[in-house]
Each structure stands twice: as C-alpha cells, then as structure tokens.
Amino acid sequence: MPAIRLASYNVHRAIGRDRKCVPQRILEVLRELDADVLALQEVEANDSGDDMLEWMARSMGVRAIAGTTLKRHDGYFGNGLLTRLPVTAIERVDLSYGRREPRGAIAARLEVQGLSLRVVATHLGLRPAERREQVEKLIQLFTWREDDRAVLMGDVNEWFLWGRPLRRLHCHFDATRAVATFPSRMPLLPLDRIWAHPGSMLRSLAVHDSALARIASDHLPLVATLEM
C-alpha cells in the first residue's frame, strides 16, 4: 500500500522565539520533516516580492498552493499548501466570521499512486463562536462515499479538548490523539491537529521536536503517516 507523510505547521510569519524573522530556519525545519504534503499557517508575502511560500516551494522543488486570507497595505498573509504529489483540483474556502480576522481553508485533491486523496488545510479563529461556525463549514466539504479518502489538518486554535468544535469533528472523523504543539519551548496545548478518513489510514501521529523547530516558530510541527 502507498504510504505518505503529512505535516501541519504554524510558521508564525517566520518569527521565532528569539523574535527574529528568519525564513531560512522555517525552510530547514520543513526539510527535516521531509513530508509529501505540508499545511502551513501564518505564511507572509509582501509587495517587495518576498513571497515566503513560493520561495520555500522553489527551494524544495515542490508545488505551492496559496490560500491568502488577509490583504494588507504592504502585502498578504494566510495559509499555504506545499506538496510533491500531483494536484488534480484546488478550492479555496472562505471561513471568515463577522468582523473577526479573515480565515480560510485550502481544499485540494491529490493523487497518490493512482488513488485520490482530498486534503483540507485550515487555520481557525480565536473565539469559540467563530470556530463553531467554521467547523460546520469545513464538515460540508466532506461527503463520505465508500472509497473516499480525506485528511483535515491545521491550527484549529482549540485548547479545550472537549469543546464543541472538537466534538463535532470527532463525530465526523474518527477521533485522533491530541498532541501538544504549543508553545514550542514547552508544548502544553494541542492546537495543531490532523484527522483522516477512514481513521485506519492514520498509522502514526507525532510532534516534530527538533532543536531548530523549538526556536524557528512559536508552534511545533505535527507529523502524520498515512497508509492509503
């Protein structure tokens, strides 16, 4: 059976624990991960041509899919998906809630040795009410048929293990283990999550806790292995 490696990582605009913006550190952490699919949050680009997502994709020889959520006077900010797998479809989903910071998701269909995998990468809001609405919108992206294979991953910003958004996701997907990823210096909260359908595909789930990852961002990457 084909196996693939996925990771979700909030790169925090490449600002590390030392408060320095060093994109090269993020790139080196991504190389450590050696993942087939990378869901990134808080990726930044500016009008001077510094596009962090495209730069990382070129450096790694992979495809980049941008999911801009916030446009500012000096550039833009949002989600990103990096993959070395063939991409057959892309959809960008608006998850914005009222006047809160705009949020979104990237929904892509990837090909894994002739099999189709739907991957949804997201970053949810900070308030419980917006997360509840965003989770309902995300669930609508998944309609289970017998041969469907899908993954939902990202920073869900939910620190209550039995909060309503997580309970809804665990009803729709098989429940997965909560792994602490934040803060990177001493992880206490499982803000970053990965779910798979069917749940039997998920063979391993672990935090990537290297010395470089502990300083490169305020989150640690979450890594999963899927067996299709």
What is residue 75's predicted lDDT score, i.e. its pLDDT?
A: 66
Specify the range with the lowest mean pLDDT, choosing from 12-26, 51-65, 70-84, 132-146.
70-84
Q: Note whether 42 and 13 are within 8 A (CB).
A: yes
CA nearest 41: which of 83, 78, 90?
78
73 confidence band (pLDDT: 50, 70, 90): low
- The pTM (predicted TM-score) of the whole model is 0.94
Q: Could you report the per-residue pLDDT of 104-163, keeping only the tens digit for each?
A: 999 999 999 999 999 999 999 999 999 999 999 999 999 877 778 999 999 999 987 777
CATH topology of domain 3-227: Deoxyribonuclease I; Chain A (3.60.10)
Q: Could you report the per-residue pLDDT of 74-97, keeping only the tens digit for each?
A: 667 899 999 999 999 999 999 999
- Side by side, which strands form the sheet with 75-83? 63-72, 75-83, 37-46, 3-10, 222-227, 202-207
What is residue 162's predicted lDDT score, i.e. its pLDDT?
A: 75
Classify strands 37-46 and 63-72 as parallel, antiparallel or unpaired.
Answer: unpaired
Q: Could you report the per-residue pLDDT of 160-197, keeping only the tens digit for each?
A: 777 788 999 988 898 899 999 999 999 999 999 999 99
Q: Give the list of residues 6+ apart from residue 77 with CB closer than 8 angstroms, or none.
A: 13, 42, 43, 44, 45, 68, 69, 70, 71
What is residue 46's predicted lDDT score, i.e. its pLDDT?
A: 61
Domain ranges of the chain: 3-227
Q: Note whether 75 and 45 are within 8 A (CB).
A: yes
Q: Give the list of residues 6+ apart from residue 167 with CB closer than 8 angstroms, or none.
A: none
Q: Hey, which residues does 190 pair with through a beta bridge?
A: none
